[in-house]
Amino acid sequence: MKKIVLAILLIFAAFALFAAPVAAEEQTDKVILVSGYGLSTTAPDKVTITFAVETINPDAKVAQAENAEIMADVVAALKSAGITDENIKTSGYSIYSYELSEYNPGEWPVGTTVYKVTNSVEIISYNVDKAGSYIDTAVLAGANSVSNLQFGLSDAKQIIERNAAIISAVKSARADADSVSSALGLKITGTGTINVNQGYTPVTYTDVNLDATAMKAGSSERVSTTIESGEIKTTATVSIVYTY
């Protein structure tokens, strides 16, 4: 008797093992997989600018000393313009030598070995309308290179724009799922796996070529630098499984 009962139990167990995947497969088949794209556009509230002071001299110590003096003036001017200590930092410093030639002339005779010192600082400001003013201030104080002008979003605004883009993407995905279900006469009952990807692209100008000599001309001749920030686009994509 015990052997008969055990045999029956083994049969039911084997049936359950084969039946479970079939049931799961049938349930998995009743899905609609859709993707959605969302976009949120806004004005930037953050600007990052890199300024540099470059000095050249046959004497490395002179080139370094001149550079340090000019950069001190640039930093002081930027701070006076409203840049706080935590929003200004050194982003690069280099010293290297090279020989002047007819293809690479300078203030000294061809064949002279000179030293070039480059000191760069990066500033961050949440007043994007003053970007041009910061450039004018730095150049007039002695900066002779401006690069990596970038407009972006503060952390708080990134969250707001990211959420807006995700909501837009989800609505797009749901609209597609509703269209499919309506066309097939199905009724959506729930959701399964949801994948979300998002990001935003700052507006970046990597090469900002300015005529420092012209900008340092008398105030009656100098024209203020005008910078247009444009708009920041935050995107999101979602992949959603709807069940029916």
Whether 25 has a pLDDT exceeding 60, the answer reads no
The residue type found at 222 is: R
Domain annotation covers residue 171? no
> How many structural domains comprise the chain?
1
Q: How many CA atoms lie within 13 A of 210 on its CB side?
A: 30
Domain annotation covers residue 24? no
Across the range 36-61, mean pLDDT stands at 96
Q: Convert the pLDDT of each residue in 166-202 to its tens digit.
A: 999 999 999 999 999 999 999 999 999 999 998 888 8
| Residue of 90 and 215 predicted with greater confidence | 90
Model confidence at 34, pLDDT cuts 50, 70, 90, reads very high
Whether 21 has a pLDDT exceeding 80, the answer reads no
Domain annotation covers residue 66? yes
Contact at 8 Å (CB) between 203 and 138? no
Classify the C-alpha dihedral 180-185-187-191 as positive or negative: negative
What is residue 190's predicted lDDT score, i.e. its pLDDT? 94
Domain annotation covers residue 110? yes
Contacts for 77 with CB less than 8 Å, ≥ 6 apart: 137, 138, 140, 141
CA 29 to chain centre: 40
What is the domain extent for residue 84? 46-152+205-221
What single string gives the DSSP state of each residue in 28-59?
HHSEEEEEEEEEEEE---EEEEEEEEEEEESS
Question: Residue 199 and residue 165: Cα distance in Å, rounded?
Answer: 9
Domain annotation covers residue 196? no
The model scores a pTM over 0.85: no
Domain annotation covers residue 141? yes
What is residue 23's predicted lDDT score, i.e. its pLDDT? 43
Q: Convert the pLDDT of each residue in 1-19 to its tens digit.
A: 555 544 444 444 444 554 4
Domain annotation covers residue 12? no
Give the percent of the chain with pLDDT over 70: 81
First to last CA, the chain: 46
The SS3 assignment for 205 reads: strand
What is residue 1's predicted lDDT score, i.e. its pLDDT? 53
* CATH number of domain containing 112: 3.30.70.2970
Q: Is 223 exposed, middle or buried (0-12, 13-18, 19+ CB in 10 A)?
A: exposed
What is residue 240's predicted lDDT score, i.e. its pLDDT? 97
Question: Residue 26 and residue 34: Cα distance in Å, rounded?
Answer: 19
Domain annotation covers residue 94? yes
Question: Residue 221 and residue 149: Cα distance in Å, rounded?
Answer: 25
The residue type found at 101 is: S
What is residue 208's predicted lDDT score, i.e. its pLDDT? 60
